[in-house]
Amino acid sequence: MKVLVDNGEYWLRNRGDIAMMVMTVERLRERWPHARIGMLTDEPHILRGVLPQAEPVVAHAGGPWGRDGIAGRLEETAGVHVIGPAALRWRSATEVPKHYLRGVKNWARQEVHARTTGAPEPEPTGIPELPPVPTALAGADLVIAQGGGYMTDVDLYQAHRTLNLLEAAQRHGIPNVMIGQGLGPMRDTELLRRAAEVLPGADLIALREGLRGPALLSELGVPREKILVTGDDAVEFAYRLRRPGIGSDLGLCLRISDYSKVTDSARDTLGEVLRREAAALNTALAPLIISEYDDEDRRHTLPLLVGAARTRPVIGRAGTAQDVARQVSRCRVLVTSAYHLAVFALSQGIPAVAVTASQYYDDKFYGLADMFDADAAAGLRIVHLDVDNLDAELTRAIRQLWESAPELRDTLQQKAVEQIDAGRAGLDRVFRLVAGGEGRLGEPAEPLQGEW
């Protein structure tokens, strides 16, 4: 049995994506203990370190399966026990100098271009050249596009790459599914065209939210019976690490990137409110780092701690997804602009304030709020960073959730259990699909929890 898994994080720098990978591989292993589970990646040694139960399928090398037999087993053993851990330590130790080196190289390139042409270097346009479909597809019995928020205008490269893989699987008659997906916003004309060509041919599409995704899939022509709403794959990952007692820290994470614009004024206000409220509540501020990609969480979160009366140590660059989920478990409330930190919190019964400055994150957070409380979204308060009274809105949200945290705890954890059950039921349908059962045509043998 060979399962080829696509994902939205080939560089393995986002702990939320890694948490989803861990759960996907574990659930597949429970069903097929001896299967070869190939995870597409550009960091094969890092994958051995963070996900030893999966086999690296190296995308930039053409995407072949690894070696069989004794040679393959020796390679796996060395990767898991020696090379993988060493690669993690090396990346952690060299991340800072490499980050600055990339900055110097980019500056030098721009300077050369400006001096040569007399004009600034133009911003890249269009989609970079897409890689060929992995050669591992030819031997696969199942193709899974694993959870993530990459099927959107914000990430056209990854969206088209995944669509090409699914289309190739369909041409070869290989069962192909998407699980834990967050779709949209999707307005790009070419992406809409390609999605309408490919997605109706998928055997099953399981979504992590039910507010936007089902309607978008219907517009793209996906039959209703192929659509499930199951929740995020990382819910079970975080739920397992919950603590028996309520935490006491105020967690925070601020991400600023091309797809998450935050003004200087909003950033400053956020920092002032967090430091003030932590002091008023006599609690520590806990910096939470979910993504190490280009330091997008670390370099914007840590400055917010300056001047705070009490703070917790920040996780090291080699820290695991489990480490971050355990940090979250010690919080009573957290404030985050990173989606998966909110998933980690809510799944453990911890309310969160989500701050957003884009349609992309609006869709993520409103969909997540709906999954955890369809009536009032009481456990996840969403604050837009462009509101006029940002100070007052943030302060009110933090104080209200701080007071209501104990009574929200059981309800949020129950919502997590419901999503865990729905996610596992969705994978049961995938297993029947591969076994040649009724699910092959997109129609389960009996209604499944979470079906839209």
pLDDT of amino acid 109? 64
Query: In 70-175, where do the E strands start and end?
Result: 142-145, 148-151
Measured between alpha carbons, how far is 201 from 199 in angstroms, rounded to an integer?
A: 5
Provide the phi-psi class of 442: left if phi over 0, else alpha when psi is between -120 and 50, else beta: left
Cβ-based neighbours of 179, under 8 Å, separated by 6 or more: 24, 144, 145, 146, 147, 204, 206, 230, 233, 423, 426, 427, 430
User: pLDDT for 341-371, tens place per residue?
Assistant: 999 999 999 999 999 999 999 999 999 999 9
pLDDT of amino acid 16? 98
Question: Could you write out the DSSP letters of every residue in 178-218?
Answer: EEEEEE-----HHHHHHHHHHGGGSSEEEES-SSSHHHHHH
Superfamily of domain 243-417: Glycogen Phosphorylase B; (3.40.50.2000)
Length of the chain equals: 452
pLDDT of amino acid 262? 86
Where does residue 299 rank: exposed (0-12), middle (13-18), buried (19+ CB within 10 A)? middle
Closest CA to 399 of 327, 351, 329, 344: 351
pLDDT of amino acid 294? 83
Give me the residues paired with residue 260 across strands: 257
Q: Tens of pLDDT along the chain (452 residues)?
A: 999 999 999 999 999 999 999 999 999 999 999 999 999 999 999 999 999 999 999 999 999 999 888 888 888 899 999 999 999 999 988 877 766 666 666 667 666 656 777 766 666 667 778 989 999 999 999 999 999 999 999 999 999 999 999 999 999 999 999 999 999 999 999 999 999 999 999 999 999 999 999 999 999 999 999 999 999 999 999 999 999 999 999 999 999 877 667 889 999 999 999 999 999 999 999 999 999 988 889 999 999 999 999 999 999 999 999 999 999 999 999 999 999 999 999 999 999 999 999 999 999 999 999 999 855 458 999 999 999 999 999 999 999 999 999 999 999 999 999 999 999 999 999 999 998 754 443 444 333 334 43
The single residue listed with the structure tokens 């995704």 is: 213
CATH topology of domain 2-70+126-236+420-441: Rossmann fold (3.40.50)
Instruction: Determine the number of helices (DSSP H) and then strands (DSSP E) in the chain.
Output: 14, 13
Closest CA to 221 of 194, 187, 190: 194
Measured between alpha carbons, how far is 327 from 304 in angstroms, rounded to an integer?
A: 18
Spatial contact of 415 and 179, defined as CB atoms under 8 Å apart = no
Q: Is 160 helix (H, G, I), strand (E, B) or coil?
A: helix
pLDDT of amino acid 101? 65
pLDDT of amino acid 68? 87
Closest CA to 383 of 270, 283, 260: 270
Structural domain boundaries in the chain: 2-70+126-236+420-441, 243-417
Cβ-based neighbours of 151, under 8 Å, separated by 6 or more: 159, 162, 178, 181, 182, 183, 184, 186, 195
Measured between alpha carbons, how far is 166 from 160 in angstroms, rounded to an integer?
A: 10
Same topology between domain 2-70+126-236+420-441 and domain 243-417: yes
pLDDT of amino acid 74? 87
Task: Quote the tokens at residue 24.
Answer: 């996907």
Q: Is the peptide bond before 175 cis (omega within 30 degrees of 0)?
A: no
User: pLDDT for 212-251, tens place per residue?
Assistant: 999 999 999 999 999 999 999 999 999 999 999 999 999 9
pLDDT of amino acid 14? 96
Measured between alpha carbons, how far is 387 from 138 in angstroms, rounded to an integer?
A: 52
The single residue listed with the structure tokens 């597809």 is: 137
